[in-house]
Amino acid sequence: MYLLSVTRAGRTIEYEKYYTYRYGPKGGKRGKRRGPMTEVQRRANNRQAERKLRRLVNANFGPGDLHIVLSYARRKGDAYRTREEMRKDADRFLRNLRKAFKQAGMELKYIHVMEIGEKGARHHHLIINHIDSRTIQNCWGGLGRVLISPLDGSGQYRKLAEYLLKYSNRTVGTDAELMGKRWSSSRNLVKPETERTVVSDRSFFRSEAKVPAALAGRYYVDLETVEKGVNADGYGYFRYTLVAYGPGDGRGEDRETHGRKRGAGGGRPAKRAGRRQHEKKG
């Protein structure tokens, strides 16, 4: 037996097929555990966090929403902001921004991550729904620069989620951890739910990423998400993601495997407001 899980998040549908010992799999040969358990668990936790954040971003944000980076103006020799000061700065910024949204007749949605750069610089990364750049700068005040990158039209923001978690993946559980959790978010975000089905027909477990006939012409397979391997318990899995075509998307000769190399959906922020973000993974 194995499980088929399906998760819908915005314009994406994630499929995963995997054997699990919980259902006493027959024919699913168990592999050898890999590496020290502590390292295996750490990687598994990172993947789980990235999966959860990716789905949260895909379900709640889209083209025109913003990835912003709040940085600090700092003179040579000045002390860096402490984690407590950074948290207070973020709280103040969000209060100001929430008030600005309310005055504009809108409701703020956000995801927030704090980061320390390789050279020690402090940053706040946020994904928010759209508002004008001047309002964002005013809410941050004179603390430093604001870099703004509109999300692209792909609807698939997998690489952006990975980029936002790169610091916590290195520091979670250590003294360098900033937030005590991977990210914080507004309470009004939609949380995607996963549907799981127990399947007993072994012939159904095929390593083929394919768009179901009912979705043909409306979705394509994101080729960068196709993955086959063995999980921490030693059982095989196969996963991939479908992405809905957006307005103006071209259709390749093979609609079912139309994979975009530019499917990052927002990686590093642009160096100035209004410029498209780089597609390179952070």
**Burial group, residue 198, by CB count within 10 angstroms (0-12, 13-18, 19+):** exposed
Contacts of 210 (CB under 8 A, 6+ apart): 221, 256
Are 265 and 63 within 8 A, CB to CB? no
Query: What's the pLDDT band for 280 if we cut at 50, 70, 90?
Result: very low
Percentage of the chain exceeding pLDDT 70: 76
Same domain, 181 and 85: yes
Per-residue pLDDT tens over the stretch 169-219: 876 666 666 777 889 999 999 999 999 998 776 655 567 899 999 999 999
CA dihedral (4, 156, 42, 181) in degrees, to 10, reads -110
Q: Scanning the structure block, which residue is given the tokens 């789980």?
A: 48
Same domain, 84 and 178: yes
Query: What's the pLDDT band for 249 if we cut at 50, 70, 90?
Result: low
- The structural domain count of the chain equals 2
Residue 219 in any domain: the answer is yes
Mean pLDDT confidence for 235-250: 83
Out of 163, 185, 207, pick the residue that ends a domain. Answer: 185
| Torsion region of 10: left, alpha or beta (phi above 0 gives left; psi -120 to 50 gives alpha) | left
Same domain, 54 and 70: no
Same domain, 131 and 160: yes
CATH classification of the domain holding 112: 3.30.70
Same domain, 80 and 176: yes
pLDDT at 224 over 60: yes
d(CA 269, CA 21): 42
d(CA 132, CA 221): 34
Query: What's the pLDDT band for 251 if we cut at 50, 70, 90?
Result: low
Residue 266 in any domain: the answer is no
Confidence (pLDDT) at 247 = 73
Same domain, 23 and 79: no
Per-residue pLDDT tens over the stretch 74-110: 888 888 999 899 999 999 999 999 999 999 999 999 9
Percentage of the chain exceeding pLDDT 90: 53
Same domain, 97 and 16: no
Query: What's the pLDDT band for 117 if we cut at 50, 70, 90?
Result: confident
Residue 168 in any domain: the answer is yes
d(CA 229, CA 16): 11
Same domain, 22 and 89: no
What is the domain extent for residue 251? 2-59+194-257
Are 237 and 247 within 8 A, CB to CB? no
pLDDT at 128 over 50: yes
Same domain, 154 and 224: no
Token duo for residue 195? 């549907």
83-103 vs 133-140: helix axis angle to the nearest 10? 140
Residue 17: which of 214, 211, 243, 231 has the closest Cα?
231
Confidence (pLDDT) at 24 = 47
Out of 185, 219, 240, pick the residue that ends a domain. Answer: 185
Query: What's the pLDDT band for 32 if we cut at 50, 70, 90?
Result: low
Per-residue pLDDT tens over the stretch 266-279: 544 444 433 333 33
Q: CA angle 264-265-268, nearest 5°?
A: 75
d(CA 87, CA 16): 37
Residue 276 in any domain: the answer is no
Confidence (pLDDT) at 151 = 97
pLDDT at 242 over 80: yes
d(CA 53, CA 177): 18
Query: What's the pLDDT band for 257 if we cut at 50, 70, 90?
Result: very low
